[in-house]
Amino acid sequence: MDNAIVATHPHTHETAVHAEHEHVSLPQHRHHFETEDQQREAATFGMWLFLLTEIMFFGGMFFAYLLYRNWYYDAFVVGSNQLSIPLGTANTAILITSGFFMALAVWAAEVKKRGLLVIFLILTTLFGIAFIGVKADEYHEKWEKHHIPGASFDVAEFVNPHAYGLKEQPLAPDMAQKVQIYFFLYFAMTGMHALHMLIGLGLLGWLTWRAYRGEFSAGYVAPIENFGLYWHFVDIVWLFLFPLLYLINRHPLH
Amino acid sequence: MSATSSTIVNLPDQRTARLPKRNYINNEDGLLSWLFTGDHKRIAILYLISITFFFFVGGAFAGLIRLELLTPQPDLVASDTYNKFFSMHGIIMVFLFLVPSVPATLGNFLMPIMLGARDLAFPKVNLLSWYLYWLGGLVILGAMVMGGVDTGWTFTTPLSTHYLNTHVVTAAMGVFILGFSSIFTGLNFIVTIHRMRAPGMTWFRMPLFVWSHYAASILMVLGTPVLAITLVLVALERLVGIGVFDPTKGGDPLLFQHLFWFYSHPAVYIMILPGMGVISEVISTFSRKRVFGYTAVAFSSVAIALFGFFVWAHHMFIMGVSNYSALVFSLLTMLVAVPSAIKIFNWAFTLQKGSITFETPMMYAFGFLGLFTIGGMTGVFLGALGMDIHLTETYFIVAHFHFVMVGGMLMAFLAGIHFWWPKMTGRMYPESLSKLAAVTTFIGFNLTFLPQFILGYLGMPRRYHAYPPEFQVLNVLSTAGATVLGVGYMLPLLYLGWSLKYGAIAGNNPWQATGLEWQIQSPPLTENFVEIPVIDYEAYDYEWLAHKTANEVTTVG
């Protein structure tokens, strides 16, 4: 006979749950999960694993940063001095605020407040866009100063800083070339971070629309929660990028 | 009586037997119902068809390579064409066949059933992974059609970034996309194993197949993203000249090696671990014994996954890494041999005093045991620093990894396909023909790759299409073996296709195996189980099975 072991145990977990509680089934419950808790836990667990892969993804670049920072310390100091601390700090504050509203959005979904949820999601989005705006301004400045790695990379400012009103020691031409590596890592790391922001903003728009339709106000909050995890992860990456690229040893003693 | 005449195969009466009326294959009709399915079993079948296709494409390149090497002169193709041949062979076989082979087909099909679940945790992600597989595959085929790529499958810098004018970026992007396919499979498996086990299915009641997939999934999830970012960097280096791997701009090509092998060494364990899971199931079933040292085999999978991350620099012993790090990596490399040996010994002890029968899956499994042991032992040779300097970049390396990957993994894949074929299709494959195929494969394989050990030891370098005339005899043997091997691989394709319509009806449990997947109908229902089972026995409990069968008879009588 088919499913012999099944037949000997007619009381499955699911029927037990149904018997014990007045259980309301959500429309988003997918049939292959025994319970909604299982579905929610699976989704969250999957998100954490995905974030683990993201850590490994960024890890490759952090490794390259570590290596080249040790090799070309002077070039990295000079490159780091080119970045604007006020803009970086402002962006950090903007991103943390955005993360704060995301946390509030998760709370709003959990207490089933539709209006608040939509407002918090929109605020999250606006601060996210502000971050991208500031970042674009910083990129634009590098573009104008020919500090984008590639054929048109200009080392004049690093070999002859005094001519540009900078107070730092001039670099030897070969070390000045290495600033290119610094800027490449700067663009690769912040660019990959910005790409994650952009994907996140796209998802936020979609989630806002769904939240507006009331999909997350009836107890089904997994997408909001898991997106929250993603958004906080993007925050945290920036919290590592900011000190590594902007702050460390800005003003060396020599 | 010879040992082979006894059998455990137990088929239903063929005059009355029918395939179950309702099953996952006939549940819905039409091509679209397959292309938009969320059912893990259907996705497994889609994967099986796709992987088989790419296997034969990659195999065709292998055939061309062997054909060129038939004579010492470079007479069949020009040298850069030859480079493209082995590059495409490597890229297709590694990324499109070996990495997804067992996990995406057998793993996809069996994992939820073995755990007592209705599906994987994320069916849509599972389907997405198949589409990404095809997207990546098509991009790689596109690179091939547009003129090919000749970096080898390793995309080594600065060769790939500065000295070649072939479709490196296209091929690298294909591999990048395939990486996500692999990540999604691994992620799905880990979540499923953690969160979807049936009541009573504790970690140490899980089949070893699940354990080995768990270990492989961890590798997929942790390793593949590093490969992804590495390939992005290679592409940027080529397109924009960012300099991160370019010594003239201060970059370091060795950094590429570190990042690439940080994935690609664990990747060989991604390839072999699921195969080891298959072997555990097959050997237990056909020896009628619990796997000896279950816990040791389970943890050795995890140990392989763990150690696998700390041996990558053994690919770089001759590339100017420091002697001290080379020493450490050499030691760690030899340590990986320990958990692999634990598995081999435990399988051997499972066989000891077991009631062994020689059905086709078991023959493939025996092939695996011998060939994988040789492949593994030569890996220890190569892990030794002095030997490695003599043998690296020779055919010894080629023979070593083909023994592990083809002799090991492909044998395991075929063992698994034959073993679970009755479950997947509800029909048996033809037994004697498949035994012939197993033997042909084994003979062909040894004929192809044993001479390459000798060639490598004598100093024939890999990746050249011409060689000194004194190597010709061994090369001819190898090419002849490849022909036999080709026949060995064509046979299953033909008779498995034949069996889809004409094979004997298999019934639920033709092998009288203990696994949960054998307790449901074949082919299974779309939802696998009518009711989620409660597990009160551990995997490989043949007494439980005997009791169950006895009870069934009483009930019916």
- Fill in the DSSP letter of residue B427: B
The minimum CA-CA distance between A49 and chain B, rounded to whole Å, is 7
Residue A43 lies in a domain: no
Q: Do A34 and B249 touch (CB under 8 A)?
A: no
For B385-413, the pLDDT digits (tens) are 989 999 999 999 999 999 999 999 999 99
Mean pLDDT on A72-80? 88
pTM assigned to the model:
0.90
- Partner-chain residue, chosen from B226, B252, B529, that has the shortest CB–CB distance to A59: B226
Going by pLDDT thresholds of 50, 70 and 90, the confidence category of residue A252 is low
- Fill in the DSSP letter of residue A253: -
CA dist., res. B296 & res. B346, Å (int)? 8
Q: Which of B21, B126, B229, B512 to mutate to test the interface with A (most CBs of A within 10 A)?
A: B229
Least confident of A121-125, B132-136, B147-151, B215-219: B147-151
Is the predicted pLDDT of residue A251 greater than 90, yes or no? no
Residue A2 lies in a domain: no
CA dist., res. A194 & res. A136, Å (int)? 10
Is the predicted pLDDT of residue A20 greater than 50, yes or no? no
Asked whether the beta carbons of B284 and B349 are under 8 A apart, the reply is no
Q: Do B533 and A177 touch (CB under 8 A)?
A: no
Asked whether the beta carbons of B533 and B198 are under 8 A apart, the reply is yes
CA dist., res. A26 & res. A24, Å (int)? 6
What the block records as the tokens of B546 is: 């005997």
A70 interface with B at CB cutoff 8 Å: no
What the block records as the tokens of B320 is: 């100017």
Choice between B551 and B313, residue whose per-residue pLDDT is larger: B313
Residue A6 lies in a domain: no
A154-193 residues touching B, CB cutoff 8 A: 177-178, 180-181, 184-185, 188
Q: In B, which residues are within 8 Å of A38 by CB distance?
A: 195-196
B321 interface with A at CB cutoff 8 Å: no
CA dist., res. B315 & res. B256, Å (int)? 12
CA dist., res. B121 & res. A204, Å (int)? 24
CA dist., res. B475 & res. B162, Å (int)? 33
Q: Position B504: which residue type?
A: A
Going by pLDDT thresholds of 50, 70 and 90, the confidence category of residue A8 is very low
Q: In B, which residues are within 8 Å of A49 by CB distance?
A: 187, 190-191, 221
What the block records as the tokens of A146 is: 């020919």
User: Given CA atoms B457, B460, B461, B463 in this order, what sign does their dihedral have?
Assistant: negative
Q: Do B191 and A45 touch (CB under 8 A)?
A: yes
A32: nearest CA in chain B?
A: B118
CA dist., res. B335 & res. B375, Å (int)? 16
CA dist., res. A213 & res. B477, Å (int)? 70
pLDDT value at residue B64? 95
- Partner-chain residue, chosen from B118, B191, B224, that has the shortest CB–CB distance to A42: B191
CA dist., res. A65 & res. A71, Å (int)? 10
CA dist., res. B405 & res. B409, Å (int)? 5
Is the predicted pLDDT of residue A6 greater than 80, yes or no? no
Q: Do B118 and A72 touch (CB under 8 A)?
A: no
CA dist., res. B110 & res. B115, Å (int)? 8
Q: Which of B125, B128, B531, B548 to mutate to test the interface with A (most CBs of A within 10 A)?
A: B531
Residue B6 lies in a domain: no
CA dist., res. B64 & res. B239, Å (int)? 32
Residue A30 lies in a domain: no
CA dist., res. B87 & res. B78, Å (int)? 14
Going by pLDDT thresholds of 50, 70 and 90, the confidence category of residue B3 is very low
Going by pLDDT thresholds of 50, 70 and 90, the confidence category of residue A5 is very low
CATH number (domain holding residue A228)? 1.20.120.80
Number of domains in chain B: 1
Q: Do A184 and B224 touch (CB under 8 A)?
A: no
Query: A152: how many CB neighbours lie within 10 A of its CB?
Result: 9
Mean pLDDT on B155-184? 91
pLDDT value at residue B557? 36
Beta pairing partners, A158: none
- Fill in the DSSP letter of residue A50: H
pLDDT value at residue B247? 85
Mean residue pLDDT of chain B comes to 92
Is the predicted pLDDT of residue A185 greater than 60, yes or no? yes
Q: Work out how many CB contacts closer than 8 A connect A with B.
A: 148
Is the predicted pLDDT of residue A72 greater than 80, yes or no? yes
What is the phi/psi pair of residue B528, to 5°? 65, -65
CA dist., res. A108 & res. A119, Å (int)? 10
Residue A98 lies in a domain: yes
Q: Could you list the residue range(s) of the whole structural domain that residue B316 is in? A: 25-556
CA dist., res. B147 & res. B150, Å (int)? 10
3-state helix, strand, coil in chain B (%, to 5): 70, 0, 30
What the block records as the tokens of A181 is: 């590596």
pLDDT value at residue A218? 85
B136-195 residues touching A, CB cutoff 8 A: 183, 187-188, 190-192, 194-195
Q: How many residues does chain B have?
A: 557
- Fill in the DSSP letter of residue B519: G
Query: Within 13 Å, how many C-alpha atoms sit on residue A234's CB side?
Result: 29
User: Given CA atoms A37, A38, A42, A43 in this order, what sign does their dihedral have?
Assistant: negative
A147 interface with B at CB cutoff 8 Å: no
Is the predicted pLDDT of residue B275 greater than 60, yes or no? yes
B550 interface with A at CB cutoff 8 Å: no
Distances (CA, A) of A65 to A247, B88, B427, B499: 14, 32, 56, 57
What is the phi/psi pair of residue B198, to 5°? -70, 160
CATH number (domain holding residue B291)? 1.20.210.10
Query: A50: how many CB neighbours lie within 10 A of its CB?
Result: 20
The complex scores an ipTM of 0.84
Going by pLDDT thresholds of 50, 70 and 90, the confidence category of residue A23 is low
CA dist., res. B225 & res. A29, Å (int)? 31
CA dist., res. B187 & res. A51, Å (int)? 11
Token pair 């089904």 is found at A220
Residue B11 lies in a domain: no
A106-125 residues touching B, CB cutoff 8 A: none
Mean pLDDT on B144-157? 91
What is the residue-wise DSSP string for B482-518? HHHHHHHHHHHHHHHHHHHHHSPB--S-TT---SGGG
Residue A29 lies in a domain: no
Residue B161 lies in a domain: yes
Choice between A251 and B41, residue whose per-residue pLDDT is larger: B41
The minimum CA-CA distance between B83 and chain A, rounded to whole Å, is 29
CA dist., res. B361 & res. B438, Å (int)? 9
The minimum CA-CA distance between A115 and chain B, rounded to whole Å, is 30
pLDDT value at residue A180? 87
Number of domains in chain A: 1
Asked whether the beta carbons of B342 and B301 are under 8 A apart, the reply is no
CA dist., res. B109 & res. B45, Å (int)? 8
Q: In A, which residues are within 8 Å of B533 by CB distance?
A: 3, 5-6, 9
For A151-183, the pLDDT digits (tens) are 788 888 888 888 887 878 888 888 888 888 899
3-state helix, strand, coil in chain A (%, to 5): 75, 0, 25
Give the three-class secondary structure for B430.
Answer: coil
Asked whether the beta carbons of B260 and B155 are under 8 A apart, the reply is yes
The minimum CA-CA distance between B82 and chain A, rounded to whole Å, is 32
Residue B491 lies in a domain: yes
CA dist., res. B274 & res. B208, Å (int)? 10
Helix axes B395-402, B360-383, angle to 10 degrees: 140
Query: Within 13 Å, how many C-alpha atoms sit on residue B155's CB side?
Result: 30
For B277-316, the pLDDT digits (tens) are 999 999 999 999 999 999 999 999 999 999 999 999 999 9
Q: Is A119 exposed, middle or buried (0-12, 13-18, 19+ CB in 10 A)?
A: middle
Q: Could you list the residue range(s) of the whole structural domain that residue A162 is in? A: 56-247
Of B359, B423, B362, the C-alpha closest to B114 is B423
